[in-house]
Amino acid sequence: MLKMVVCMKQVPMASELPWDAATGTLLRNLAEGMINPACRSALEAALRIKAAEGGEITAITMGPPMAEEVLHEAIALGADRGVLLTDRKMAGADTGVTSYTLARAIEKVCPEFDLILCGFATIDSETAQVGPQLTEELAIPGVAYVDEIEVCGRTIRMQRRSDNFLETLEMDLPGLITVTTGVHAPHHVPLGGLQAAFDKADILSLAAEELGLDPERIGVKGSATRILNVYSPTAAKKNLVLTGAPKRIVEQLFERFDDKLGGAIGKDLKTGKRS
Amino acid sequence: MSAKKRGIWVFGDYRNYFQNRVTLQLLSRAQELAKKIDGEVCAVVFGHDVDEYVGEYIAHGAEKIYLTKHPDLKHYSMEIYTFLMERLARRENPEIILIGATAFGREFAPRVAKRLGTGLTADCIGLDINEEGLLVQMAPSFGGNLVAEIVTPERRPQMATVRPGTFQEIPHNYVRTGEVVRTPMPEGTPAERVRLIRSERFPQRGGKLEDAKVVVCGGRGMGSKKKFAKLFELAELLNGEVGATRPVVYAGLAGHDSLVGQAGKQIRPQILFSFGISGAIQHTAACHDARFIIAVNKNPNASMMKQADVAIVADASQICTTLIQELKRRIRS
């Protein structure tokens, strides 16, 4: 029976993220949250291992109180319990600090873990750094960007695409993997399960002090990087704007650029003017 | 008094040398940065048969090469490379370490940064030195609508990863010379705990999208899977290829192979059609080399529309359909 920990992050569903111009931070409370897609794949991988080998899944997340939602969803999908790390002091963490915080929490709530699964990256920050850094924090072997997983006793075999190579790798547990979204198509949340998950979920909420974290090493304070400035990169080109009925727009496009278009595709597009 | 120059290191990511030019691109940028902080451009090379790369890196601007050669380093090895890099950095105290955001680099860099207790910015689209002499790391942020300028004010080294294609390499010059600092494999180098069972070259998927003269890219604004499928018809008429944005790929409307963006393909077509794409930086950073951009979006203020040569304010799917009809008519006649 494997003890598994799945690290999850709640990310905003909107692509146009609202943010506070004054502080340069996300106004997360305004956005609908969802489980980050790759974290969802990590959970799916854990669920399949559980189904095949037997096991116990702890879903863990760090974030504002509303991040608890992803734990309910994880439990509805088949995770056994959830752990929420929430504390204002943890806010604004960079990846180094996040991995420190997660590592100490995992050591506290699931010290006998066999396998830790993370999504390879999140869609809101996309650094792909937390998984590899968590591997370092826990001083265990780890592999990132895993596409396929096969557990055999105390050994895990993995396949991944790494640059131009298809690699098959193996390591002994305990270990950590970060999985791609290609790993498994996630199944849907059963509605009945979701109700049950909200009614009687085993969710533990922990703050910085309860984790025994060094206050100097967490949140914004502990982060090595600083955001100096945030700007919109759009340097507007002097361009041609076409509006109106689609038919008229397309006609104008050909009237002006038939040479350019025809040249690029190696076809004469001028002849249409006859009609 | 020590006149030691401040080291600007570039990790020598030589695997797939002919396709993967990111190390050379970083060496080029490092030379620009070195001028501003009186720095010394160094490449770090771990491997076995790597003399060829040492020569190439010097020819492309490295003044110094830190080299560790050993048969155990024949294949890229995450744990051993991390161990070697940490030791070397602790000994030499570089100011900056730049690592190409290849699959290997994107796993290697965060591990090295963690060991060294320093910060790391992923996927920078620009690097500069500010008036305080700090490395300014420009990275897409907040879902790609904005660029954040990030610094590592106190801890050293300052570290960043950069996607291939972000900077231009400079032409080689084989007359250049450089110092090679050899470090033997240290005693007590831990064995790699992740075993490489098999590694085969991935069948090249043709690089069709990267080399296409015409690319038809679709985003969320195309509406539905059925409507998105029309882009393939249009692309065929244009002898082009279809690209997609990340939300579209995540929604399963297009395969990961067609992802145009920092996490996918870099394209440089003569003509780029952009349908229903808002223009997150992760996407636009991968198509800024397109020579002529025609963007269609209902929102005239979308970032993609501002960067286009022709901005069509309309429903993307309708324009796609109308274009198909018109092209068929013109090609037939």
Would you say residue B1 has pLDDT above 50?
Answer: no
Cα separation, A68 vs A61, in Å, equals 8
Mean pLDDT of B247-274: 87
* Mean pLDDT score of chain A: 87
Q: Which of B251, B201, B191 is nearest to B225 (CA)?
A: B251
pLDDT of amino acid A178: 97
pLDDT of amino acid B224: 87
φ, ψ of residue A114 in degrees (nearest 5): -105, -40
A133 and A256 fall within a common domain:
no
pLDDT of amino acid B18: 78
According to DSSP, the residues that pair with A33 across neighbouring strands are A12
Yes or no, beta carbons of B200 and A242 under 8 Å apart: no
- Those residues whose C-beta lies under 8 Å from the C-beta of residue B142, and which sit 6 or more positions away, are A17, A19, A26, A124, A230, B148
Question: What total number of domains does chain A contain?
Answer: 2
A28 and A118 fall within a common domain:
yes
Dihedral of CA atoms B189, B195, B198, B200 in degrees, nearest 10, equals -50
Cα separation, A32 vs B194, in Å, equals 39
> Smallest CA–CA separation between B224 and chain A, in Å?
17
The pLDDT-based confidence of B234 (bands split at 50, 70, 90) is: very high
Q: How many other C-beta atoms can be found within 10 angstroms of the C-beta atom of residue A267?
A: 16
A177 and A90 fall within a common domain:
yes
A146 and A253 fall within a common domain:
no
Q: Which of B144, B323, B149, B138 is nearest to B236 (CA)?
A: B323
- Those residues whose C-beta lies under 8 Å from the C-beta of residue B48, and which sit 6 or more positions away, are B69, B70, B71, B73, B74
Chain A residues whose beta carbon lies within 8 Å of the beta carbon of residue B204: 164
Mean pLDDT of B223-250: 91
A217 and A249 fall within a common domain:
no
A140 and A100 fall within a common domain:
yes
A88 and A199 fall within a common domain:
yes
Q: Is residue A228 part of a domain?
A: no
pLDDT of amino acid B288: 80
| pLDDT-flagged residues of chain A (< 70) | 14-31, 183-194, 196-197, 234-236, 271-275
Yes or no, beta carbons of B312 and A243 under 8 Å apart: yes
Q: Which of B19, B13, B12 is nearest to B201 (CA)?
A: B19
φ, ψ of residue A190 in degrees (nearest 5): -70, 130
pLDDT of amino acid A123: 81
The helix (H) or strand (E) run that includes residue A8 is strand A2-8
Host domain of residue A247: 236-275
Chain B residues whose beta carbon lies within 8 Å of the beta carbon of residue A143: 194
Angstrom distances, CA of residue B208 to CA of A10, A24, B258, B261: 36, 39, 10, 15
pLDDT of amino acid A272: 47
Which value does ipTM take for this structure?
0.85
> Smallest CA–CA separation between A228 and chain B, in Å?
5
Three-class SS state of B117: coil
The minimal CB distance from A163 to the residues B15, B197, B329 is found for: B15
Distance of CA B110 to the CA centre of its chain: 16
pLDDT of amino acid B281: 85
Would you say residue B289 has pLDDT above 90?
Answer: no
Sign of the dihedral defined by the CA atoms of residues A145, B142, B282, A94, in that order: negative
Yes or no, beta carbons of A225 and B152 under 8 Å apart: yes
Yes or no, beta carbons of B142 and A181 under 8 Å apart: no
Buried b (16+ CB within 10 A) or exposed e, A96-118: bbbbbbbbbbbeebbeebbbbbb
**Nearest Cα residue in chain B from A130:** B110
Q: Which CATH number fits the domain that encloses residue A107?
A: 3.40.50.620
A246 and A110 fall within a common domain:
no
pLDDT of amino acid B17: 81
Q: Is residue A34 part of a domain?
A: yes
Q: Which of A158, A34, A147 is nearest to B256 (CA)?
A: A147
Better-predicted residue by pLDDT, B273 or B203? B273
Cα separation, B242 vs B263, in Å, equals 16
pLDDT of amino acid B163: 86
pLDDT of amino acid B205: 52
The pLDDT-based confidence of B314 (bands split at 50, 70, 90) is: very high
Chain A residues whose beta carbon lies within 8 Å of the beta carbon of residue B199: 165-168
Mean pLDDT of B127-135: 96
**Nearest Cα residue in chain A from B256:** A182
Three-class SS state of A109: helix
> Smallest CA–CA separation between B176 and chain A, in Å?
30
A145 and A34 fall within a common domain:
yes
Q: Which residue has the tokens 């002090």?
A: A209
A260 and A190 fall within a common domain:
no
> Smallest CA–CA separation between B287 and chain A, in Å?
14
Cα separation, B110 vs A99, in Å, equals 11
B43-71: pLDDT as tens digits: 999 999 999 999 999 999 999 999 999 99
A93 and A187 fall within a common domain:
yes
Please report the domains of chain B, with CATH numbers, ordered by start residue: 6-182 (3.40.50.620), 208-332 (3.40.50.1220)
Mean pLDDT of B30-41: 97
pLDDT of amino acid A11: 87
Whether the CB-CB separation of B139 and B147 falls below 8 Å is answered with: yes
